[in-house]
Amino acid sequence: VDPSHGRRPSRRQAGRRGSNWAVLRRWPWYVIIQWPQLTRLTFATGCTDVSLHANVVLKSHVVVEGVTTIGENTTLFPFGCIGGPPQDKKHVVGEHSALVIGKNCLIREHVTINCGTSLDAGTTRVGDACW
């Protein structure tokens, strides 16, 4: 017997089923990425300039934004903020800044990696096989 019978599921049922529609209704500027190698609750904001190479794994609740390139076989663990604007107060909004993360990296929980500033070549680089 179908328990829903055409009715809207309760909050408890929706949470058990992993429904993300509440997130989309509440914050329409977030995009839930539907790539097969990513988990269900991966968030990205303004991800038009994000480049993910082969076998990149983003665990749940990772924010990837800005001009960001992530090398192959890299894993980002929950609650990371990757590719945000520089925190340097001398950075001028609109200047080119980017983030490049190398291959085979492990980026653990709650890590923040920002894009570079124009004062230092404009790019933050994380090498290969970093953890």
Give the CATH number of the domain where residue 95 resides: 2.160.10.10
Average pLDDT, the chain: 75
Distance CA 67, CA 131 (A): 22
Confidence band, pLDDT 50/70/90 cuts, at residue 100: very high
Q: Would 6 be classed as within a structural domain?
A: no
Has residue 68 been placed in a domain? yes
Nearest to 70 by CA among 58, 85, 86: 58
8 assigned to some structural domain: no
State yes or no: pLDDT of 121 exceeds 70: yes
pTM of the model: 0.66
Task: Please name which of 71, 68, 67 lies closest in space to residue 57, comparing C-alpha atoms.
Answer: 71
Domain assignment of residue 13, yes or no:
no
Quick check: is 94 in a domain?
yes
Total domains present in the chain:
1
Res. 68 pLDDT band, cuts 50 70 90: very high
Domain assignment of residue 63, given as a range: 29-126
The pair of three-digit structure tokens given for residue 63, joined into one six-digit string: 């924010």
